[in-house]
Structure 1
Amino acid sequence: MTREEKSIAIEDLTAQLADANIVYLADISGLDAGTTSDLRRACFKAGIKLEVVKNTLLEKAMEASANEYGELPTTLKGNTSILIADVANAPAKIIKEFRKKGEKPVLKGAYINQEIYIGDNLLDSLVAIKSKEEVIGDIIGLLQSPAKRIISALLNNAESKGEEAAE
């Protein structure tokens, strides 16, 4: 790879990182071609961009980025794949699903809305993160609950008064 190609690759990675609030780093080395293809397909269906990157180029892109990646660059050893998503727990769910069949992919770390997560041991915690839509649904459910109880009480009260009037 020439210097110019490296420079272009770093610029592309920097632009991708600038647009991303959710970035996962994983090791997918050792997966056979079929499993890798299945992983790519699952990521595509979930709206996740999966790309195998060179550690040095990604590290330089992280340094050039406006985002603060903290200790995340220290995980850039061995093979690294970057997963960029819009839903915070989507890459974690895919990694966990594929781990049912084998030891890989291994989570190296994640950058989620300015928070840094390092280590494969955090995979279950990342799966449990709720998406924006799930949180909004929970809030709407909580807000509707008291209103539903009031309406139900009013309807029951009205029905009982209607029965009294009929007698």
Structure 2
Amino acid sequence: MTREEKAVIIDELSQKFLNTPYFYITNASGMTVSEVNSLRSLCFERGIEYRVVKNTLIKKALEALDTDYSSFDEVLKGFSGVMFHPESGKVPAQLIKDFKKKSGNDKLKFKGASVDSAVFVGESQLDVLISLKSKQEMVGEVIGLLQSPAKNVISALSSGGNKLAGILKTLSEKED
């Protein structure tokens, strides 16, 4: 690969890292061709872009960004694949766990991830990433919390209004 080709890949990766807030670095060494094809198929089904890239190119692409990804230095060894998901930091983590469970082996290893510029390193972080709520889930919860008091007030007022009208009607009928 020439320097120009490497520069193009580094620039392309830098743009991808910059524009995609959720990316994972995995190790799929030792997997058979059919296992890799199965992984790629799962990625495609779940809207994840999976690319195998040389560690030096990943490192240089990350260095070109403003965020400090120096903790990835220890993970960028051996075989590396990068998973990009545009909407959720949880989807790739769930895919990795599902793939391990389905294939019955530990050939796909989680190395590290960046979720909204927060860095997670090590296999032990996979369950933490699975438990993360997506932006849409968080917004939904906040809206639900904000709507709850207003709904209670409206329901109390509307039920109270019916009672008040009933009392006034009863009182007016008694006077006759």
| TM tier relative to shorter chain | 0.7 to 0.9
Question: CA offset at residue 61 of structure 1?
Answer: 1.6
1:9 maps to 9
1:161 maps to 164
2:30 maps to 30
Give the TM-score of the pair, scaled to structure 1: 0.88
* Aligned-CA RMSD value: 1.9
Q: Secondary structure at the match of 1:47?
A: coil
1:50-83 residue CA offsets vs partner (Å, 9 max, x unmatched): 1011112211222223332131122011111101
CA 162–32 in structure 1, closer or farther in 2 if over 3 Å, else same: farther
> Separation in 2 of the partners of 1:164 and 1:144?
30
Deviates more, 1:155-164 or 1:110-119: 155-164
Q: Contact 1:18–1:67 at 8 Å: present in 2 too?
A: no
1:96 maps to 97
Q: Contact 1:26–1:109 at 8 Å: present in 2 too?
A: yes
Question: CA offset at residue 138 of structure 1?
Answer: 0.4
1:81-131 residue CA offsets vs partner (Å, 9 max, x unmatched): 101122121211111211212324211011122211110101111111111
Q: Secondary structure at the match of 2:89?
A: coil
Q: How many residues align?
A: 167
Instruction: Give unmatched runs, 5+ long, in structure 2.
Output: 171-176
CA 154–104 in structure 1, closer or farther in 2 if over 3 Å, else same: farther
Q: Secondary structure at the match of 1:65?
A: coil
Give the TM-score of the pair, scaled to structure 2: 0.84
CA 155–38 in structure 1, closer or farther in 2 if over 3 Å, else same: farther
Read off the aligned partner of 2:83 and give its amino acid letter: L
Question: CA offset at residue 12 of structure 1?
Answer: 2.1
Larger radius of gyration: 2
Instruction: Give unmatched runs, 5+ long, in structure 1.
Output: none
Q: Contact 1:98–1:104 at 8 Å: present in 2 too?
A: no
Deviates more, 1:14-23 or 1:133-142: 14-23
Question: CA offset at residue 16 of structure 1?
Answer: 1.8
> Separation in 1 of the partners of 2:64 and 2:55?
14
2:173 maps to none
Q: Contact 1:52–1:81 at 8 Å: present in 2 too?
A: yes
> Separation in 2 of the partners of 1:11 and 1:78?
22
Residue identity over aligned pairs, in percent, reads: 39
CA 95–3 in structure 1, closer or farther in 2 if over 3 Å, else same: same
1:9-37 residue CA offsets vs partner (Å, 9 max, x unmatched): 22222222222222210112233333322
